[in-house]
Chains A and B, each alone.
Chain A
Amino acid sequence: MQKISNVYSDEKLYKKLLEDKNITIEDALENEMVINMGPQHPATHGVLRLVLRLDGETIVKAIPELGYLHRGYEKMAENMSFVEFIPHTDRLDYTSTMCNNVAYVLAVEKLAGIEAPKRAQFIRMIMAELSRIAGHLIAIGTFAMDVGAITMVMWTFRERERIQEIFDRVAGARFTTSYTRIGGVASDVDDEALKMIKNFLDTFEPALKEMDDLMLHNRIFIERLEGIGILTKEDAIALGVTGPNLRACGVEYDVRRANPYLFYNEMDFQIPTYTEGDCLARYFLRGDEVRESVKILYQCLDKLPQGEVMANDPKKVLPHKTEIYSKMEELIHDFMIINKGINPPVGDSYFSVENPKGELGFYIVSNGEGQPWKMKIRSPSFCNLQTLPLVCKGQMISDVIAIIGSLDPVVGEADK
Chain B
Amino acid sequence: MDTKEKIINSVKEKFGEAVVEISDFRNDLSITIAKDRLIDVAKFLKENPELQFVMCKDVTAIDWATRKNRFTTVYHIYSFKLNFTLRLKVNIEENPPAVESVVSIWPSAEWYERETFDMYGIEFLNHPDLRRMYMPESFEYHPLRKDFPLLGISGSMPLPEKME
A interface residues with partner B (beta carbon < 8 Å): 66-67, 70, 72, 74-76, 78-79, 110-111, 113, 237-240, 242, 251, 253, 258-259, 347-350, 352, 359, 361, 363, 365, 373-374, 376, 378, 382-383, 386, 415-416
A72 adjacent to B60 (CB under 8 Å): no
A110 and B28 alpha carbons, distance in the complex (Å) = 10
A238 and B80 alpha carbons, distance in the complex (Å) = 12
Q: Within residues 40 to 85 of chain B, which ones have a CB less than 8 A from any CB in chain A?
A: 54-58, 60, 62-63, 74, 76, 80, 83, 85
A363 and B85 alpha carbons, distance in the complex (Å) = 12
Shortest CB distance A234–B (Å):
9
| A363 touches which of B54, B58, B106, B133 (Cβ 8 Å) | B58
Shortest CB distance B109–A (Å):
8
A386 adjacent to B143 (CB under 8 Å): no
| B134 touches which of A70, A240, A242, A259 (Cβ 8 Å) | A70
Residues of A near B135 (CB, < 8 A) are: 67, 70
On whether A378 and B58 interact (CB within 8 A), knowing A67-B134, A349-B25, A350-B28, the answer reads yes
On whether A386 and B110 interact (CB within 8 A), knowing A76-B150, A348-B30, A349-B28, the answer reads yes
Which interface residue of A110, A253, A350, A382 has the most chain B CB atoms within 10 A? A350
B57 adjacent to A74 (CB under 8 Å): no
B108 adjacent to A239 (CB under 8 Å): yes
On whether A347 and B57 interact (CB within 8 A), knowing A75-B150, A383-B108, A415-B134, the answer reads no
A361 adjacent to B57 (CB under 8 Å): yes
A237 and B106 alpha carbons, distance in the complex (Å) = 9
| B25 touches which of A253, A348, A352, A378 (Cβ 8 Å) | A348
B60 adjacent to A363 (CB under 8 Å): yes
A-B residue pairs in contact (CB < 8 Å), sample of 30: A67-B132, A67-B134, A67-B135, A70-B135, A72-B143, A75-B144, A75-B150, A76-B150, A79-B150, A111-B26, A237-B55, A239-B108, A240-B56, A259-B83, A259-B85, A347-B23, A347-B26, A349-B25, A349-B26, A350-B76, A352-B57, A363-B74, A365-B62, A373-B62, A376-B74, A382-B111, A383-B111, A386-B108, A415-B134, A416-B134
| B57 touches which of A66, A359, A416 (Cβ 8 Å) | A359
The 7 closest A-B pairs by CB, nearest first: A240-B108, A67-B134, A70-B134, A347-B25, A376-B60, A349-B26, A378-B58
A238 and B54 alpha carbons, distance in the complex (Å) = 7
A308 and B132 alpha carbons, distance in the complex (Å) = 47
Binary contact readout B20-34 vs A (1 if CB under 8 angstroms, 0 otherwise): 000101101010000
